[in-house]
Amino acid sequence: MLRKIYVGLLFLALSGLAGAVGADELSARQVVEQFQNQLIDVMKRGKELGFKGRYDALEAAVKNSHDLPKIARIVVGKEWEGFTPEQQARFEEEFSRLSISAYAHNFKEYTGESFNFVSEEETGRGGVVIHSTLSIPGEKDVRFGYMMKKKDEGWRIINIIADGVSDLALKRSEYTSVLSRHGFDGLIAKITERIESYEKQ
């Protein structure tokens, strides 16, 4: 049961761990591993930090390891072009808040979990996939594939595949469905509702 929770909730989503090394100097593997280290650190302090403390501790880590603006555009598909500039900015902001809130909610306690590097492979379009596992005591390991693309500021996660299931595909299916049925305001309301539920749990 615990393993299923991790697979479902790790979907969404550095600076303090990188020291004097800039993010643009980190390899794709280093970006992933430092983000994972930050998650474990927050889990270990989860109860004392509370939701807001975990959110604050993870905000920079998520933004510095994930390409949230790109992910936000992808998950709404062709609907993005129909947004006004104000709507685009609003959606990026709310999507980022939701992504960080999801991590802050899901990584709130530590029971001996650990991430382990497995392999790294290059993709045909200049990207890299970092394969790793999350070991959970008493449970089967969760397999992760972090799809990475390099930007001016360094390598960034654009998708996470957990046990063969794409987070990006799931989000795109959900978000485009909400947009088609309830429009932009309905989607923002849905995101706000989910963030509030994370804050209360």
120 beta partners: 130
pLDDT band at residue 125, thresholds of 50, 70 and 90?
confident
CA atoms within a 13 Å half-sphere pointing along the CA-CB vector of 114: 6
Residue entry with tokens 């998520």: 62
pLDDT tens digits, one per residue of 27-56? 999 999 999 999 999 999 999 999 999 999
Architecture of domain 2-200 in CATH?
A: Roll (3.10)
What's the token pair of residue 200?
A: 């209360």
Confidence (pTM): 0.85
Tell me the C-alpha distance between 88 and 100, whole Å: 18
Mean pLDDT score of the chain: 89
